[in-house]
Amino acid sequence: MKFRLQTWLVVVPLFFLGIFYFYPLISIFFLSFMPEGAFDVTKLYKLVSTSYYVGVLWFTIWQAAVSTLLTVIVALPGAYIFARYDFKGKALLQNLATIPFVLPTVVTAAAFHALLGPRGLVNTILMHLFQLETPMIHMDQTVWFFLMAHVFYNYTVILRIVGGFWSRLPENLTESARMLGASDIKAFVTITLPLLKPAILAASLLVFVFCFTSFGVVLILGGPRYATVEVEIYRQALHLFNLPMASALALIQIGFTFGLIAVYTRLEKKVAVSLTLSGSQSVNQKIQTPKERFFVVSNITGMAVLLGAPLMALLLQSVLTEEGPSLVYYAGLLENKTGSILYVAPITAIANSLGYALGATLIALILGWFSAAFLVSSKEKWALVLDPVFMLPLSTSAITLGFGFVIALDEPPLNLRSSMFLPAIAHAMVAFPFVIRSILPAWRSIPQNLRDAAALLGASPLQIWARIDWPILRRALMVGAVFAFAISMGEFGATVFVVRPQTPTMPLAIFRYLNHPGSLNYGQAMAMSCLLMITTALGFLFLQKIKPRYGGF
Amino acid sequence: MRIRRILLVCLLFFMSVDVAGAKKKTPFVTLMTHDSFAVSQTLLDSFQEQYGAEIKILKSGDAGAALTQAILSRKNPLADVFFGVDSTFMSRALSSGVFEPYESPFLRDITDSLKLDPSNRLLPVDYGDVCLNYDKSWFLRKGLAPPRGLADLILPAYKGLTVVQNPATSSPGLAFLITTVRKYGEAGYLDFWKKFRVNDVYVTAGWSEAYYGKFTRAKGGTRPIVVSYASSPAAEVYYSEKKLVDTPTAGVLSAGSAFRQIEFVGIIANTAKKDLARKLVDFMLSPAFQKEIPLHMWVFPANPETPLPDVFFKYAQKAEAPTILLPEAIENGREKWIEAWTDVVLR
């Protein structure tokens, strides 16, 4: 009986996906092929025929490729020392290095503003030092500004994937090469690099996908000069009110991300296979020679500067005012001043974010739970089909999803535009694949014979559930909940479209503040970013604490 | 246990939202507008005294973005009244059907030439001339003559001096682009912008970022020429801490280098508060509101009888022969101009 129920529960997530994923996507299709109700592909044709849109597409690919290349070059030495050496504080460092990756993109953008923007820390110091009246470093509106931000938050992807793979490569191959007279460089190029290739490829592809769909960072740091496909969808829809064109762009975006994710899934399997083949982790070396020490220390210093400086700058800028250190920017978050650019007091934006995040977490947990229940209990054939379907929202950009919501869900029978639940639902769509990925391995890890043994000893199904399944699943659910909560708190792309201006969220408030000059707006952007950063970082560190006990994702 | 605690927190949260909502029982009318909207609290209070309803102001980004949001959510209106549709976005606003007609009794006091919509769905509230502003003391210090018109901007001597707004995201930016189209013609305006780009023109997303961020009058600004309004110099005098006898900035007012921008208000169709919405529109055209426009939004009131404050009377300027283009002509060209401009200036 219980198994039947478990299987039927899948109706709920499927129903949800149908309404809040496929329906908006289908609306996008219709809008791009039939903008005025009749079949008309001129918008799509225009997309590929004019230099403007080809330029946008080309720039998106170009910046993603350059960001990926830079990230690999910058992070590879770090991956090496993490794979080969054993030193004090290594685990802590690895966890800290992951924080940029889990930060909301708006916070990343604010942090780079805080460090290198025209009013940023570096410029302020330089202006004081050299008695200048104008900023010395002009990073804003250059492509380097957001390329750096891309390296900043993708660093850990290379570090973890390549580093993890590297640490399992047998060291003796390289040593034999050296013994046979190959130089360090030659040994690296001819032996290590080819062996690392699948891991580097998989990690690079992942970074490429992240940068390809980059929105918040490019929008905020790139200025009007640069537009990825994501940013262009946003501009076409919200600034130029060219919905058919936005749909056509979204269509292209969907095609690209699906293709990239499909390739990645393949590559990932390959990496996983070779990982198991090469056996256990090789022994970590202690640092011995001064040369090694220098290499490790300089690397860690570089990492600390790249990953730590923007976050430190953010913290500092949130308390440094023109009159010296003070908490006025934080205090200002409580006031609702007339004429302010927000409709409500900033503190309300924080409350909104918390409210949406709680709602989104609840929805995502239920959907994730029901989906996982199905995947665990159903026949393998069905699981193979539905598992990728549940992962689909993951490979759709948030902008596309938000845009789809706006054009699909604003008329009967599904008129939800003014519903308070819409943002929570949008966030839940983004988050629930993560919940499945948190629960599923734990659920699958429960050995069936444990349940059978309990049944033999006379335990009722309820007792089995309460004593065996639940204790294991509880922790996994907690992980999923933290993920969903953090994703919802920082979600920006879909939120831009879905949230009504009366009920802004924290990322939206930060975005609005950053867009408006004036030291109070700037300071409040910094203060709110800090709050968001601390929330996310704490959530993540909490995950690190409870995760190892059951392993898996 | 823990789950129960989380549920409890959820419950409490939603209850607190309800309580907060229930406390405010004063009726209100929502005015959706762009970020540059500003009036005094006293004025807003006087509406409440008069009509017993509060005005809630919903700022939604730049004029273009705010209007798009209003159109996107027209089936579930975000507000009752929208202020800030300007002549450049007028056709889009009217064809989208987001506004409903209202013949306010105060319309008869408004200058006729400003009434561009015969159906009275959009009613003129104010106007100003979008033109180049320059920092007088900067040019004096450098011994360089201030720009006299658009043509000067592409001279080598003016390299790296100008900041403009992106016409795709800013209405003064679009107004300025249209000025160049008007001046150089469809065949020549892109050539002008090509040279302008070579001359290192800086582009910001919105007006405030340019004026308060990049203009030399702002802290840390480096560009002495900015696209703003002919009335902006008066604001510089008004807000300056020292007593000024002359404006620190000036507008370039020569023929063909400015664009007359008219701002309109309209009632959002299907609003549930039609009566209050009408009262708000009346209020915005009434002398009390019109009187506040100069010193708060730094443009000219649409009612010509409105007494102008001293500083405004003395220092706010109007352009000679500003560009006036009919909304239909703008509508037909806008998308094409913006795309071509983006290609030439930004990519």
Of B78, B204, B218, the CB nearest to A224: B204
Residues B255 and B269 occupy one common structural domain = no
Q: What is the pLDDT of residues A163-219, one digit of tens each?
A: 888 888 877 777 788 788 888 788 888 888 888 888 899 899 989 999 999 999 999
The one-letter amino acid code at A80 reads Y
Q: What is the pLDDT of residue B181?
A: 94
Interface test with A, best of B169, B226, B341 (most A CBs within 10 A): B169
| Number of domains present in the structure of chain B | 2
Q: Are residues B196 and B340 in the same domain?
A: yes
Quick one: B61 and B108 in the same domain? Answer: yes
Beta bridge partners of A285: A85
Task: Summarize pLDDT for B137-186 with one digit per residue, the tens.
Answer: 999 999 999 999 999 999 999 999 999 999 988 889 999 999 999 999 99
For residue A521, the surrounding DSSP H or E stretch is helix A519-546
Smallest Cβ–Cβ distance between A517 and the set B56, B169, B209 belongs to B209
Question: In terms of domains, do B238 and B117 share one?
Answer: no
Mean pLDDT of B239-249: 79
In sequence order, the β-bridge partners of residue B32 are: B58, B82
Q: Where does chain A hold its CATH 1.10.3720.10 domain(s)?
A: 43-326, 333-553
- What is the predicted pLDDT for the residue at B20? 46
Identify the three-state secondary structure at position B345.
helix
What is the C-alpha end-to-end distance of chain B, expressed in Å? 57
Task: State how far the Cα of B93 lies from the Cα of B171, in Å rounded to an integer.
Answer: 14
Q: What sign does the dihedral A218-A221-A224-A226 (CA atoms) show?
A: negative
Chain segment A119-168, per-residue pLDDT in tens? 889 988 998 888 887 778 888 788 999 999 999 989 999 998 898 888 88
Residue A411 forms contact with B (CB below 8 Å)? yes
CA dist A355 to A351, B83, B313, B322, Å? 6, 31, 50, 50
Indicate yes or no: CB of B168 within 8 angstroms of CB of A516: no
Q: How many CB atoms lie within 10 A of CB A175?
A: 12
Among the listed residues B110, B95, B99, B90, the one whose alpha carbon sits nearest the alpha carbon of residue B277: B99
Q: What angle do CA A408, A434, A214 make, to 5 degrees?
A: 65
Can you give the residue range of the structural domain that contains B163?
128-260+318-346
User: Binning pLDDT at 50, 70 and 90, where does residue B6 land?
Assistant: low
Pairing label, strands B202-204, B162-165: parallel
Locate the chain B residue with the closest alpha carbon to A351. Answer: B13
- Do the Cβ atoms of B62 and B83 come closer than 8 Å? no
CA A331/CA B222 separation, integer angstroms:
32
Q: Is A336 on the interface with B (CB under 8 A)?
A: no
Strand ranges (E), A311-465: 320-321, 324-325, 410-411, 414-415
- Choose between A19 and B242: higher pLDDT: A19
Q: How many CB atoms lie within 10 A of CB A349?
A: 23
Distance from CA of A401 to the nearest CA of B (A): 16
ipTM: 0.81
Q: How many CB pairs under 8 A join A and B?
A: 118
Task: Clarify whether residues B142 and B171 are in a common domain.
Answer: yes
User: Are residues B33 and B8 located together in one domain of the fold?
Assistant: yes
The helix or strand, by DSSP H or E, that contains position A346, with its residue range, turns out to be helix A346-377
Cβ separation B65–A417 shorter than 8 A: no
Distances (CA, A) of A61 to A32, A40, A55, A104: 22, 27, 10, 22
Instruction: Assign 3-class secondary structure to A280-292.
Output: CCCCCEECCCHHH
Residues ≥6 apart with Cβ < 8 Å to A431 = A360, A361, A364, A483, A484, A487, A488
* pLDDT above 70: residue B313: yes
All residues of chain A having their beta carbon less than 8 Å from the beta carbon of residue B54 are: none
Q: Residue B24 has what pLDDT?
A: 52
Percent of chain A with pLDDT over 90: 34
What is the spatial distance between Cα A110 and Cα A143, in angstroms, rounded to a whole number?
16
* Domain containing residue B145: CATH number: 3.40.190.10
Q: CA torsion sign, A251 to A253 to A256 to A257?
A: negative
Q: A52 vs B208: CB contact, 8 Å cut-off?
A: no
- Looking at the predicted structure, is the pLDDT value of residue B4 above 70? no
Taken in order B42, B47, B53, B58, the sign of the CA dihedral is negative
Residues B113 and B181 in one domain: no
Q: Which of these, A357, A502, A348, lies nearest to B20 by C-alpha position?
A: A348
User: CA B172 to CA B251: how far, in whole Å?
Assistant: 14
Confidence grade of residue A85 (pLDDT, cut at 50, 70, 90): confident
Cβ contact, residue pair A55, B338, below 8 Å:
no
In chain A, how long is the greatest CA-to-CA distance?
82
pLDDT confidence of residue A279: 45
Query: What pLDDT, on a 0 to 100 scale, did the predictor assign at position B304?
Result: 93
- More confident of the two residues A311 and A322: A311
Contacts of B237 (CB under 8 A, 6+ apart): B244, B247, B248, B311, B314, B315
Q: Which residue has the tokens 């629960």?
A: A439
Query: What pairing do the DSSP bridges indicate for beta strands B123-135 and B300-301?
Result: antiparallel
pLDDT tens per residue across span A530-542: 999 998 888 888 8
**Residue A307 gets which letter from DSSP?**
I
The better pLDDT of the pair A19, A547 is held by: A19
Q: Let me know whether B24 and B95 are in one domain.
A: yes
Q: Please check the confidence at residue A68 and state whether its pLDDT lies above 70.
A: yes
Mean pLDDT of A253-260: 88
pLDDT of A458 > 70? The answer is: yes
Note whether B111 and B158 are same-domain residues.
Answer: no
Within this chain, do residues B146 and B226 fall inside the same structural domain, yes or no? yes
Distance CA B38, CA B59 (A): 10
Other Cβ atoms less than 10 A from the Cβ of A430: the count is 24
Contacts of A214 (CB under 8 A, 6+ apart): A63, A64, A67, A105, A146, A150, A228, A230
Tens digit of each residue's pLDDT (9 = 90 or more) over A87-120: 888 888 888 888 898 899 999 999 999 999 888 8
Highest mean pLDDT among A280-284, B17-21, B338-342: B338-342
What is the arithmetic mean of pLDDT over B294-316? 90
CB-CB under 8 Å, B78 with A500: yes
Please determine, for residue A455, whether its predicted confidence score (pLDDT) is greater than 70. yes
Task: Give residue-wise pLDDT tens across range B26-50.
Answer: 899 999 998 888 888 899 999 999 9
Q: What is the DSSP string of B18-86?
A: HHHHHH--S-EEEEEE-TT----HHHHHHHHHHHS-EEEEEE-SSHHHHHHHHHHTTTS-S-SEEEEEE
DSSP A447-492: -HHHHHHHHHTT--HHHHIIIIIHHHHHHHHHHHHHHHHHHHHH--
Q: Stretch A344-369: mean pLDDT, rounded? A: 92
Q: Report residue A245's pLDDT band, with 50, 70 and 90 as the boundaries.
A: confident
A388 and chain B in contact, CB less than 8 A: no
Q: Measure in Å the smallest separation between the Cα of B115 and chain A Cα atoms.
A: 25
Report residue A284's pLDDT band, with 50, 70 and 90 as the boundaries: low
Q: What is the pLDDT of residue B7?
A: 56
Just give the CATH number of A43-326. Answer: 1.10.3720.10
Query: What is the mean pLDDT of the segment spanning A284-312?
Result: 87
Residue A417: name the closest of A402, A431, A438 by CA: A402
Q: Which residue stretches of B250-319 are H helix?
A: 274-285, 287-297, 310-315
Cβ-contact A496, A508 below 8 angstroms: yes
Q: Find, in chain B, the residue whose alpha carbon is nearest to that of A502.
A: B58
Question: What is residue B280's predicted lDDT score, i.e. its pLDDT?
Answer: 96
**Same-domain status, B45 and B65:** yes
pTM metric for this prediction: 0.86
Confidence at residue B176, expressed as pLDDT on a 0 to 100 scale: 95
Contact call for residues A485 and A368 (beta carbons, < 8 A): no
Given this model, what pLDDT does residue A278 score?
Answer: 45
CB contact under 8 A, B59 and A501: yes
- Which residue of B58, B59, B342 is in closest CB contact with A52? B342
Whether A44 shows a pLDDT value over 90: the answer reads no
CATH no. of A333-553 = 1.10.3720.10
- In 3D space, the residue among A125, A156, A120, A152 whose CA is nearest the CA of residue A138 turns out to be A120
Work out the average pLDDT over A15-44. Answer: 84
Yes or no, beta carbons of B209 and A235 under 8 Å apart = no
Cα separation, A168 vs A164, in Å, equals: 7
CA distance A365 to chain B (A): 12
Q: Confidence band (pLDDT; 50, 70, 90) for A275? A: very low
The verdict on a CB contact (< 8 Å) between A223 and B221 is no
**Cis peptide bond N-terminal to B146, omega within 30:** no
A494: Cβ–Cβ under 8 A, 6 or more apart, which residues?
A: A398, A399, A401, A402, A405, A423, A426, A427, A429, A430
- B54 - beta bridge partners? B28
- Work out the mean pLDDT of chain B and round it to a whole number: 88
Separation of alpha carbons A368 and A479, rounded Å: 12
Answer yes or no: do B108 and B244 share one domain. no
Separation between Cα atoms, residue A154 and residue A159, nearest integer Å: 9
- What integer is the mean pLDDT of A366-392? 85
